[in-house]
Amino acid sequence: MMSSIPLNAGRRRVFGSVFSPRRSKPGHHRQSSEQAWSAATAFLTIPDRGFALIFELRGTDGNEALKNWNRLTPPSKETGEALSYLAASAQQPQVFKQKDLFDWYGDEMRRHFLTNLRGGLCELLAGSEKEGLLRTIVDCLQLARRIYLAPIVHYMMPFIATSEQGRILTQLQRVFHTVVSYSLPWEQISTLLADELLRDALIILGIDTMLESSDSEDSSQDGMELDGFYSVSYKDWKHASPEARAVMMTGGEMPAVTMARDQLLAFLNGLQLVGLGGDKAQKVFASVMNLMMTEFVRAAYTNQWKRPSAVPQHLRCWVENIFSRLAVQVLAIIQGTSAGSELPAALDVSFGDVGKWQEIATARLGALRTSELFDIIISWPASSGAIEDLRQFTYHPAARAHVTQTFISLINQRLLHPGASTIQILQLYISIIRAFHLLDPKGVLLDRIARPIRRYLRERDDTVRVIVSGLLAEPSATAATESNPLHSTGENLVELATELTRAHQFSLNQTKGELDWNDMTWVPDPIDAAPDYRKSKSADVIDSLVSLFDSKETFVKELQTLLSDRLIQKRENFDQEISVLELLKVRFGDSALQACEVMLRDISDSRRVDAVVRHDQGFNKPPSRISSKRVPRPDIPELHTKILSRFFWPELQDQEFKVPAEILSIQEKYSAGFETLKQSRKLTWRNGLGQVTVELELSDRSFIDEVTTWQATVIYAFQEDGDSGEPVVKTVDELAESLEMAVPLVRSACLFWVSRRILAEIHRDRFRVLETLPTEDEHRAGGDAGSETGDENSVGDAADAAAAADAAAAAAVKETAEAAAMEKMNLHWQFIVGMLTNQGAMPLQRIVMMLKIVVPGGFPFSNEELRDFLAGMVTRGKLEIVSGGNYKLVH
């Protein structure tokens, strides 16, 4: 066909002048049609003008282009006749079947497009400039389409029966569409199309206003505060009244949205017109909408956790009104070409589809909440709305599995690592228990989530301690801080104490077992429950925590230790402890807590016994004040005791030292009195555990405070030969020797007194009584060892000294603890020897594992510590390392 063009052009004039189509006689029929054919094709042939021209003219109304392409000149009379002749014959299928003018023109269009336009368009597509590129291309193609179809529409249609006009136009259009869609690289076009759709959909669906309020001129703030009329923002919607909600999304759109919508629809119209719409475009559109859905859910609902949650309703509303609307509008334009264009714009979206979209959106919401779940739990209970959202999602077992899996991996990553403190973990665990109870009252999800947490908590050494101290903490945390230095950190699970009192009310009436035949609300365990899943009674936090440990013993033992710490303090009453104990008894039974019971009884009994003994021994002088001991006054110091039944109390860490003789004599007298009262019982004094009210008279001031016994003993030692007028000076070593007290402890006590400005350290470890407080002048002149230069400084010094005293006390405690640890290690050494003797050589890991199993109370050392210890034993020739890193005893 292409090669014949010049020939046709050449012959046109000749035939055109000689044979008019009108003069068609039967005999000349064939000839005249030949003539008409060449005249018509010559007229219709599309001039080969390059793409550049189209590109330049794409923005214009197109008339210029049509002129350029010779499409505006009406055909000459002869040509017109030829056209009408051919058009008429084309409608008679039996004649000239092989030479249908419209087929020819279709081919001509194809040829022209491929030779002239394709190269240019592909070049455009390959270029780096992507912004608006697709629109440009569509414009060009539209222009080309006009150029192609103009002569047909203008000059051919009049000759064709109205009924046939549509068919022929469609046919030509299809040719154009086919050539366009197959000759251009779809891959690049689809990316461009996706970008275009994305940009406008973001605006139309209201996502952009939520993403960046500053981005568009009418930001979400405007929308929220000014009109409150049209908005897709969840926040606005939530605060609006139900009536307002109804119109919020269906009401008038913001201008930007309308604009974007019109623009997009126009663009899509063009797209469809030039043949780039249809199935392929639908696919692109679907993927964009898919993205939009996720994006919207993310933008609208992230961090919107407050309850009551209206998110699901809002989301449904959005899908129905905004998402579906866009989908309907777009799909109406880019219908499939094959069959679709015949039908008048049929509604492609059924209500079933909308329902499906809503479901998908809910699932997206679930996915979002799942990914946020950890943070949701952290901000529990403020975030319970989010849990409600999640509830909508966790109907399906697969969804539930997804939630638990995601959450477990989040937990492992964010919580169960050494950086998190046990208190944090426990606190979060409590929140998890509550949140998941709301999410899934059956407790199956909780059961699954809790396993790794519980496993991890069991591995932590201080879990028990934290739980127990939480239980013992006073619900009003402020009260606890002053009376109880141990718990003054504020880092305490006070929640547990509240929970304990609260949960108590439920615990009694919830004891019905699994086999309650009258339970009419019984349902089987959910299908995704673990085999050993046990329905937990309720969101009973305490129960969950206490059941962390296989036996109650660990728990009770820790309880005893903490209780003993608290009970030996000087306090008016122990109501808090008593009530906690009573509550715990409900859970554990009396027998398990017997020791604690005895401890509490000891305390209350000793008050009575103390009164009796003191009365009998004639100690009672002033109305008794509750204190363990009272030290120097001119008269006999008061002495009160707490009598503990040694057997029921845990090991108390005591510091050995000699108490002043005066106290000793009272103690002896007291002991005698006690032994007459309670025969066959004996008192052993725990000197290190008491409190003393000390009253010191210095030459310029007096001092009264409550201190520990060892601090009192040290300051008492300074008193003894204090008559000489010279301030007493003593060294730590002297004191340690005379008091039979450990050196670090003496030093700690001295530093404590320095901090109280009773003593001063003149050299290292040498202390002197500060009989008169140095005045400022004295300091300036003397330049005392203390080197205080003013009140501020002296205050600072006192603070320093206090810190030093604390540090020294800590060091003393640490020393005793280390000694105890060493002793413990020796015990462990026995275990190791036994193990290696009987079980043969073992690697470190196995030794640690075995020790963890067999040593009562667990193995408190890390692998590294044990490795060091064993290495020490190797150098001492007690062990050897044989093949494979196994440790073996040396015989």
Partner 1 sequence: MDYNMEDTQNSAPDALEASKLNSSAQRNDTQSVTKRLQSELMQLMLAPSPGISAFPDADGNLLSWTATITGPAETPYEGLILKLSFAFPNNYPYSPPTVLFKTPIYHPNVDFSGRICLDILKDKWSAVYNVQSVLLSLQSLLGEPNNASPLNAQAAELWDSNQEEFKRHVLARHKDLDDE
User: Site residues (CB under 8 A) for partner 1?
Assistant: 551, 827, 830-831, 833-835, 837-841, 846, 849-850, 853-854, 856, 886, 888
How far apart, in whole angstroms, are the C-alpha atoms of residue 73 and residue 43?
A: 10
For residue 99, the 8-state DSSP code is G
Give the nearer residue to partner 1 in terms of CB position, either 567 or 850.
Answer: 850
Chain centroid to CA 205? 27
H or E element at residue 212: none
- Measured from the CB of residue 878, what is the shortest distance to partner 1 in angstroms? 14
Cβ at position 853, least distance to partner 1 in Å:
5
Residue 506 beta carbon to partner 1: minimum distance, rounded to whole angstroms = 28
Residue 355 or 858: which CB sits closer to partner 1? 858
Distance, in Å, from the CA atom of 733 to the CA atom of 740, rounded to the nearest integer, reads 10
User: At 464, which amino acid appears?
Assistant: V
Please say which residue, 129 or 550, places its beta carbon nearer to partner 1: 550
E-assigned strand segments in 171-295? none
Q: Minimum Å distance from CB 882 to partner 1?
A: 8
When the beta carbons of 131 and 550 are compared against partner 1, the nearer one is 550
> Smallest distance, Å, CB 591 to partner 1?
13
Q: How far is the CB of 592 from partner 1 (least distance, A)?
A: 13
CB atoms within 10 A of CB 741: 26
**Nearest Cα to Cα of residue 549 among 431, 443, 463:** 463
Nearer to partner 1, 9 or 854 (CB): 854
CB 774 within 8 A of CB 837: no
707 pairs with which residues across the strands? 692
Least gap, CB of 886 to partner 1 (angstroms):
8
Kindly state the tokens that stand for 737: 């020797």
Query: Nearer to partner 1 by C-beta: 212 or 823?
Result: 823
Closer of 244 and 841 to partner 1 (Cβ):
841
Q: How far apart are CA 802 and CA 754, in angstroms?
A: 7
The smaller minimum CB distance to partner 1, of residues 123 and 880, is found at 880
Q: How far is the CB of 854 from partner 1 (least distance, A)?
A: 6
Shortest distance, position 450 Cβ to partner 1, whole Å: 24
Shortest reach from residue 855's CB to partner 1, in Å: 8
Query: 887 phi and psi, to 5 degrees?
Result: -90, 140
Burial of 587 (0-12, 13-18, 19+ CB in 10 A): middle
Please report, for residues 646, 687, 744, 750, the alpha-carbon distance to residue 658 in angstroms, rounded to integers and kept in the order given.
21, 8, 15, 16
Give whichever of 107 and 880 is closer to partner 1, judged by the CB atom: 880
Give the shortest CB-862-to-partner 1 separation in angstroms: 21
Least distance to partner 1, CB of residue 467, Å: 21
Nearest distance in Å: CB 883, partner 1:
11
Give the C-alpha separation, 603 to 571, whole Å: 11
Structure tokens given for 304: 């919107």
- Please report how close the Cβ of residue 645 comes to partner 1 at its closest, in angstroms: 21
Pairing, β 759-763 against β 842-843: unpaired
The amino acid at residue 495 is: E
How many CA atoms, within 13 angstroms, populate the side-chain half-sphere of residue 781?
Answer: 5
For the chain, first and last CA: distance in Å? 106
Helix (H, G, I), strand (E, B) or coil at 507: helix
CB of residue 833 to partner 1, shortest distance in Å: 7
Of 262, 276, 325, 76, nearest in space to 178 by CA: 276
Of 166 and 589, which has the nearer Cβ to partner 1?
Answer: 589
Q: How far is CA 572 from each of CA 93, 433, 712, 731, rounded to the nearest angstrom?
A: 116, 37, 22, 38
Tokens read off for 481: 């801080």
Q: Could you tell me the smallest distance in angstroms from the CB atom of residue 651 to partner 1?
A: 15
> Which residue, 420 or 833, is less far from partner 1 as judged by CB?
833
| 3-class SS shares of the chain: helix, strand, coil, % to 5 | 65, 5, 30
Sheet holding 629-630, edge to edge: 629-630, 691-697, 702-708
Between 298 and 828, CB nearer to partner 1: 828
Residue 604: CB atoms within 10 A of its CB come to 12
Minimum distance from residue 891 beta carbon to partner 1 (Å): 8
* CA–CA gap between residue 349 and residue 332 (Å, rounded): 9
DSSP of 330-360: HHHHS--STTGGGS-------HHHHHHHHHH
822 Cβ neighbours under 8 A, 6+ residues apart: none
* Nearest CA among 139, 326, 311, 337 for reference residue 234: 311
Chain position carrying tokens 């640690």: 848
The rounded distance, in Å, linking the Cα atoms of 800 and 786 is 12
CB closer to partner 1, 402 vs 888: 888
CB of 840 to partner 1, least distance (A): 3
Among 548, 542, 558, 429, CA closest to 496: 542
Looking at the Cβ atoms of 803 and 819, the one nearer to partner 1 is 819
Nearer to partner 1, 221 or 839 (CB): 839
d(CA 541, CA 232): 40
Using CA atoms, how far apart are residues 401 and 91, in angstroms rounded to an integer? Answer: 67
Three-class DSSP category at 771: coil
How far, in Å, CA of 637 to CA of 666, rounded? Answer: 8
Q: Which residue, 783 or 840, is less far from partner 1 as judged by CB?
A: 840
- Of 659 and 835, nearer to partner 1 (C-beta) is 835
Residue whose CB is less far from partner 1, 10 or 858: 858
DSSP conformation letters of 163-178: HHHHHHHHHHHHHHHH
